[in-house]
Amino acid sequence: MGHYLMILVLILVPLDRCYNGYKFSDTLGHIKTQTFANVQQRAVQDLISRILPNRSSEFSITINSTFTVDDREAFQIKKLNDKIQITATTGVTAASAFNYYLKYHCHAHISWEVSQLALPQILPAVDIVITLNDRFRYYQNVCTTSYSFVWWNWQQWEKHIDWIAMNSFNFVLAFNGQEAIWQRVYEKLGLSQDDIDEHLSGPAFLSWLRMGNLRGWGGPLSQSWHQRSLHLQHKIVERIRQFGIVTILPAFAGHVPRAFKRLYPDTNMTKMSIWNQFPDKYCCPYFIDPTEELFQTVGKLFIEEQISEFGTDHAYNCDSFNEMDPGNTDLTYLSNVGKGIYKAMTSADPKAIWVLQGWMFYSDAFWNDLNRAQSFLTSVPTGKMIVLDLQSEEFPQFTRLNQYFGQPYIWCMLHNFGGTLAMYGSAGVINTDVIEARAAENSTMIGTGLTMEGINQNYVIYDLMTEQAWRKESVDLSDWFRNYSRRRYGRKDEHAEFAWQVLKDTLYNFNGIERLRGQFVVTKTPSLNIVPWTWYNYTEVFNAWNSLILASDNLKNSPGYLHDLVDLTRQVLQDNGDIYYEKLVKTFRNKDLIEFQKLATIFRGIFLDLESILATNEAFLLGKWLEAAKSCANNTKEEKLFEYNARNQITLWGPWGEIMNYAIKQWSGVVKDFLYPRWDEFVYALNFSLVYNVTFNQPLEQGLIFLLYEEPFTFARDIYPTEVRGDTIQIAKSILARSWYTNTEFVPTTLKTIPVRNRKIPKKYQKGIKRCNSNKGFGGTSLEVRRGSSKIRDLNVMDYYFS
Ligand SMILES: *[C@@H]1O[C@H](CO)[C@@H](O)[C@H](O)[C@H]1NC(C)=O
Ligand SMILES: *[C@@H]1O[C@H](CO)[C@@H](O)[C@H](O)[C@H]1NC(C)=O
Ligand SMILES: *[C@@H]1O[C@H](CO)[C@@H](O)[C@H](O)[C@H]1NC(C)=O
Ligand SMILES: *[C@@H]1O[C@H](CO)[C@@H](O)[C@H](O)[C@H]1NC(C)=O
Ligand SMILES: *[C@@H]1O[C@H](CO)[C@@H](O)[C@H](O)[C@H]1NC(C)=O
Ligand SMILES: *[C@@H]1O[C@H](CO)[C@@H](O)[C@H](O)[C@H]1NC(C)=O
Ligand SMILES: *[C@@H]1O[C@H](CO)[C@@H](O)[C@H](O)[C@H]1NC(C)=O
Ligand SMILES: *[C@@H]1O[C@H](CO)[C@@H](O)[C@H](O)[C@H]1NC(C)=O
Ligand SMILES: *[C@@H]1O[C@H](CO)[C@@H](O)[C@H](O)[C@H]1NC(C)=O
């Protein structure tokens, strides 16, 4: 496979030409497809057969690498002889043309979760040419691979690569299989299997292993995992390249297993600092100084090994300082570090281009000093590095950093952290700022991109952002959202359109600088100190929800509609969680026992309603995530480990809740067995304190919640459904019928009581407690909670509490 591609390189490069209309074509001209036109054409035809099995013969595809407009990539769509004829510069532009035609001429819709492909009997006539604005359309965050793709099989990848191509992304990370490459490199450098095993983390945490944030957590990786991911990576890379898309491979960033210190005692390497309080056992690998000879040796070996396995398109991602600062402020040193990193790439591949995530320039105060940033960025020849301006929709850095001191950058929308599910976005910002950034004086912007940490949320905002690849001016957002509703649901519906107009002006009009992390009362660890915050008017969102439900007779057969009805109902319940939490805490503080009982019933009911609506749609099922994880395993021991990885990532995120709730999912199953039990426990304790007039001990309560509910969830092996249960519309309507969700000022006096959960502590949980306090055990009077090796809490347990 690797050799096959190398041959293609030799033959094809001289035949192709650069798109000179784009900036930096002298240094980046070679970062383009190396695939024959007929291969690209075939790939697009196959894609069309997968999307429209019965109508693919109505489309014809021509790939013509000299078909450009003003030296820019372009596509033409023309109806001729009863066929839709697409001519495009590359396969990916042709696939984008196909999607453009479906969206804008057939009112069809293809998203991550659902498709709507009811095309007209006779395909509409068309004759247009669309030019792509920039040389690059980038896709992925280094974390997406862990939050969204980690358990995917080839079928899921194939579908997703089709989506990537249809949305014009021509510059994408190809990150699978790299630990298998590292295994070989480490062996060559003298590490034993034990050295490697204590370093490589489990599948769900590989992104942070790769950035040097942690090591070993959730691991080790088996040979069967390596085989599986190598096999996948071969297929992914092959398919991506068939479309004419350029792959970005990882490069060596400097982080190495602890064993390096033993094996190479004379090399200058420093232990990484602790990341998010991870205990020593799972953090702090060594970092080889990039100015060291050993850095060159390792970096070169790693790239050579990858090239021999996968071939290369000459683009390499490398982030040495993600959420970690270089620890040395000397400007010459910073420049030498940059040079060292780049040299290791070019010594293996002289045509290498360094792709750098610019997250550090925002997240780390170290880089507030412009001279440091300049030394680092200009250490590499201009145009040999591409910076991903990682969260341009909220914290753009290109202006502050003076257009990256001349280095080209890509304008990226990050939007989502941890793959959490709240509905929000900045439609207004992405609609205007991308265009302004491109047109700015001396702009070095060379592309647009998506850098979400997790997919499968807020598709609407990604659909809008993706169109910036070709839009020359801002769109009328009212018009755009109206059309979105029609495309997604397959027909016009005034109630649905009204709902989307309201969402555009509320959830999707965020333009502040608050750091949105998908954290709400329902998804947070219980506490009396949560301060809910929002920028939109809840009542308006409730009105949108009401209106969307009114569309149910008309749209009941639309998968997109059913998905969104679940999502918006979820959002309304999430908002109600914030609203009723504040009321509940107030009555608790006022010791208003009567009012507290009513509000507690409503508050607990929110979780039960949340669970039942989520269970009706397959995009919101814990069962799918867990079964997918288990299906990657080769034996029962590994199955257990992978399930643990899957459960831990979306809850505790670390052995002791180091990044608790960061990647939490509002999924059926998670609500039932994680979010609800912990809040129910908390409410129980508040009630207990009111009823028996005893002091409420919050640290104690949180400690108990950790030991009784949060941690045990990660070790449990319960099986969750992968099939939906319940009727979405019926359940949404019954939730709407509970007047208190939309009229939050009026709490009814009579509420159906929710049976109190059985709070007998199961045996397996008792074990958890004993482990933390072997002297006193369950039922004692004190409890110790540890984080890593340090004791963080001493708690007093009231015996009667469990009686
Ligand atoms: C394709 O055509 C077959 C036979 O006419 C039909 O049964 C099937 O439903 C069609 N599939 C789609 C996706 O339209
Ligand atoms: C490719 O496109 C160029 C520019 O539009 C055109 O001159 C040329 O004839 C096309 N080649 C083929 C084989 O269609
Ligand atoms: C699974 O493990 C068995 C036994 O260890 C091995 O023979 C087999 O090749 C493995 N399967 C994969 C896919 O690696
Ligand atoms: C060793 O590496 C550290 C960090 O990478 C660097 O700050 C320091 O200057 C280096 N020391 C020497 C003697 O090169
Ligand atoms: C653009 O570049 C020119 C030439 O280097 C410089 O004089 C000018 O100040 C720059 N403009 C901005 C806005 O940085
Ligand atoms: C919305 O759809 C109408 C009718 O198809 C079309 O004319 C208009 O350009 C579309 N607007 C946007 C912003 O896509
Ligand atoms: C919120 O929206 C509702 C419905 O449009 C309106 O009556 C109310 O005044 C708004 N509240 C605020 C604080 O703007
Ligand atoms: C509060 O405790 C009382 C007495 O045990 C019980 O009757 C009531 O249902 C509890 N309320 C809640 C909200 O747990
Ligand atoms: C609750 O306890 C406090 C302190 O122990 C005491 O001062 C107060 O009178 C008690 N209230 C009731 C209603 O028993």
Query: Which residue puts its alpha carbon closest to atom 10 of ligand 4?
Result: 268
Q: Is the CB of 267 under 6 A from ligand 4?
A: no
Within 8 A by CB and 6+ apart from 418, the residues are 147, 453, 454, 517, 518, 662, 663, 664
Between CA 458 and CA 571 the distance in angstroms is 11
Q: Is the CB of 75 under 6 A from ligand 2?
A: no
Ligand 6 site, CB within 6 A: 475-476, 479-480, 483
Determine contact, residues 64/267, Cβ cutoff 8 Å.
no
Q: Give how far Cα 347 sits from Cα of 137, 304, 343, Å.
A: 27, 9, 6
Q: Give how far Cα 168 sits from Cα of 171, 247, 665, Å.
A: 9, 14, 29
Q: How many CA atoms lie within 13 A of 421 on its CB side?
A: 28
Query: Which residue puts its alpha carbon closest to atom 13 of ligand 7?
Result: 537
At 613, list the tokens: 């609506």
- pLDDT above 70 covers a percentage of the chain that reads 91
What's phi and psi for 496, nearest 5 deg? -65, -40
What confidence score (pLDDT) does residue 761 get?
53
Query: Which residue puts its alpha carbon closest to atom 3 of ligand 6?
Result: 483
The answer to whether the bond into 220 is cis (omega within 30° of 0) is yes
Query: Which residue puts its alpha carbon closest to atom 13 of ligand 2?
Result: 64
Q: Give how far Cα 50 sits from Cα of 53, 135, 162, Å.
A: 6, 28, 9
Between CA 643 and CA 628 the distance in angstroms is 9
What confidence score (pLDDT) does residue 760 get?
54
Distance 227 CA to ligand 3 centre (A): 9
Query: Which residue puts its alpha carbon closest to atom 8 of ligand 7?
Result: 539
Distance 98 CA to ligand 5 centre (A): 40
Nearest atom (ligand 5) to Cα of 440:
13
Q: Is the CB of 479 under 6 A from ligand 5?
A: no
| Sign of the Cα pseudo-torsion (602, 603, 607, 608, in order) | negative
What's phi and psi for 793, nearest 5 deg? -145, 145
Distance 264 CA to ligand 4 centre (A): 15
Between CA 96 and CA 87 the distance in angstroms is 11
At 207, list the tokens: 């992104």
Residues (pLDDT < 50) of the chain are 1-18, 762, 764-803
Between CA 289 and CA 246 the distance in angstroms is 30
Q: Which of 356, 352, 376 is nearest to 138 (CA)?
A: 356
Distance 406 CA to ligand 5 centre (A): 11
Please tell me whether residue 23 adopts helix, strand or coil conformation. coil
Distance 792 CA to ligand 4 centre (A): 34
Determine contact, residues 724/621, Cβ cutoff 8 Å.
yes
Distance 324 CA to ligand 4 centre (A): 15
Query: Which residue puts its alpha carbon closest to atom 10 of ligand 5?
Result: 442
What's phi and psi for 91, nearest 5 deg? -60, -45
Ligand 7 site, CB within 6 A: 537, 539-540
Nearest atom (ligand 8) to Cα of 756:
14
- pLDDT above 90 covers a percentage of the chain that reads 84
Give the number of whichever ligand sits closest to the CA of residue 399. 5
Give the number of whichever ligand sits closest to the CA of residue 51. 1
Q: Give how far Cα 43 sits from Cα of 75, 146, 242, 414, Å.
A: 16, 27, 6, 29
Between CA 679 and CA 501 the distance in angstroms is 34
Between CA 547 and CA 569 the distance in angstroms is 12
Query: Which residue puts its alpha carbon closest to atom 12 of ligand 7?
Result: 537
What confidence score (pLDDT) does residue 757 get?
60
Q: Is the CB of 442 under 6 A from ligand 5?
A: yes
Query: Which residue puts its alpha carbon closest to atom 1 of ligand 1?
Result: 54
Between CA 476 and CA 191 the distance in angstroms is 59
What confidence score (pLDDT) does residue 294 get?
98
Q: Which of 479, 485, 488, 504 to mutate to test the pocket of ligand 6 (most atoms within 8 A of CB)?
A: 479
Ligand 8 site, CB within 6 A: 597, 600, 683-684, 687, 691, 756
Give the number of whichever ligand sits closest to the CA of residue 593. 8
What confidence score (pLDDT) does residue 780 get?
34
Phi and psi based region of residue 490 (left: phi greater than 0; alpha: psi -120 to 50; beta: remaining): left
Between CA 510 and CA 333 the distance in angstroms is 40
Distance 681 CA to ligand 9 centre (A): 23
Give the number of whichever ligand sits closest to the CA of residue 694. 9
**What are the residues facing 77 on neighbouring strands?**
86, 128
Query: Which residue puts its alpha carbon closest to atom 2 of ligand 5?
Result: 442
Domains recognised in the chain with CATH numbers: 37-131 (3.30.379.10), 136-475 (3.20.20.80), 521-621+667-802 (1.20.120.670)
**What are the residues facing 783 on neighbouring strands?**
795
The 10s digit of each residue's pLDDT in 616-669 is: 999 999 999 999 999 999 999 999 999 999 999 999 999 989 999 999 999 999
Distance 186 CA to ligand 4 centre (A): 23
CA end-to-end span of the chain, whole Å? 66
Give the number of whichever ligand sits closest to the CA of residue 50. 1
Nearest atom (ligand 8) to Cα of 684:
14
What confidence score (pLDDT) does residue 5 get?
44
Residue 751 CB burial class (10 angstroms; 0-12, 13-18, ≥19): middle
Distance 136 CA to ligand 6 centre (A): 26
Query: Which residue puts its alpha carbon closest to atom 8 of ligand 6?
Result: 479
Distance 692 CA to ligand 9 centre (A): 9
Distance 105 CA to ligand 1 centre (A): 22
Nearest atom (ligand 4) to Cα of 328:
7
Between CA 168 and CA 463 the distance in angstroms is 12
The 10s digit of each residue's pLDDT in 166-225 is: 999 999 999 999 999 999 999 999 999 999 999 999 999 999 999 999 999 999 999 999
Nearest atom (ligand 4) to Cα of 254:
5
Determine contact, residues 596/587, Cβ cutoff 8 Å.
yes
Ligand 1 site, CB within 6 A: 53-54
Q: Give how far Cα 173 sits from Cα of 15, 137, 253, 290, 356, Å.
A: 26, 12, 16, 23, 12
Query: Which residue puts its alpha carbon closest to atom 12 of ligand 2?
Result: 64
What confidence score (pLDDT) does residue 19 get?
64
Q: Which of 153, 222, 223, 634 to mutate to test the pocket of ligand 3 (most atoms within 8 A of CB)?
A: 634
Query: Which residue puts its alpha carbon closest to atom 7 of ligand 1?
Result: 54
Query: Which residue puts its alpha carbon closest to atom 3 of ligand 2?
Result: 67
Q: What is the pTM of this model?
A: 0.93
Nearest atom (ligand 7) to Cα of 537:
1
Give the number of whichever ligand sits closest to the CA of residue 478. 6
Please tell me whether residue 228 adopts helix, strand or coil conformation. helix
Q: Is the CB of 456 under 6 A from ligand 2?
A: no
Q: What angle do CA 365, 370, 376 make, to 5 degrees?
A: 90
